[in-house]
A and B are shown apart, each in its own frame.
Chain A
Amino acid sequence: MNKEEIIEALKTIIEPYSEEVTALAHIDENTDFINDLKINSANLVDIVLDVEEKFNIEIDNDSMAKMLTVKATTEIIAQKLEANAGQ
């Protein structure tokens, strides 16, 4: 799965948790979950749990703490997918 595909899948996951229609329509790597999409901490947890299920990966506390932007989240997903593939 390449970066663009990950971002596409991520968009679908994020959508139900934000009311920011304009920001949602313009999601890119620099989109910040809290500042741009106004997602609260409880819904950030939901997003991470959805990411785990969708990509079949496990997110630890350290990774979770970094997952505040689309870029950081995409990188973490890519890393975990690569680690899984190497097993």
Chain B
Amino acid sequence: MTTQEILDQLPYGKPFLFVDELLHLDENGVKGTYTYAKDLPFYEGHFKNYPLTPAVILTETMAQIGLVCLGIYLLRAVKTDQNIAIAMTSNAIDFLKPVGPGEQVTVTSEKVYFRFNKLSCKVKMENAAGEVVCKGNISGMLIPKENG
């Protein structure tokens, strides 16, 4: 399974797709990048006259790269005509530094366990300077659905 095939299977679209490129992927983890375009709609209100990437969006970015891309890879034996139902079920994240419009971030995720369709990952996000901006643990359910 190529990284492009994984990106093609992602169920997200603009403006809520937060994965640009997958740099590395194996059974135990994934590394990918995303650049927050300056014209993303939430910057208009978060905050007024002081745009910063909301923590929920940072969390979502870590989940899309760290949990969903890895999960699709781990479920690759599943037929491609099947969809995968995805739900983030818990997360515990520390936010250490702000991320502004136009910044590129790199997300690294390590699988803690994948059992009974629940994937739990240790995830961190770094900025272009290599500083950790947030880190924590994200878990979710990934369930293949019959007939899409």
Contact = CB atoms under 8 A, between A and B. Distances in A.
Contacts of B87: 42
Nearest to A65: B116
B93 to A, nearest CB: 17
Nearest to A42: B89
Nearest to A48: B116
Interface residues of A, number: 11
Interface residues of B, number: 11
A49 B90 contact: no
A42 B115 CA distance: 10
A80 B113 CA distance: 22
- Which A-B residue pairs are the 8 nearest by beta carbons? A42-B89, A45-B118, A45-B116, A42-B141, A64-B116, A42-B118, A41-B141, A45-B115
Interface of B: 87, 89-90, 113, 115-118, 139-141
18 contacts: A41-B117, A41-B118, A41-B141, A42-B87, A42-B90, A42-B140, A42-B141, A43-B89, A44-B116, A45-B116, A45-B118, A45-B141, A46-B118, A48-B116, A49-B113, A49-B115, A61-B116, A64-B116
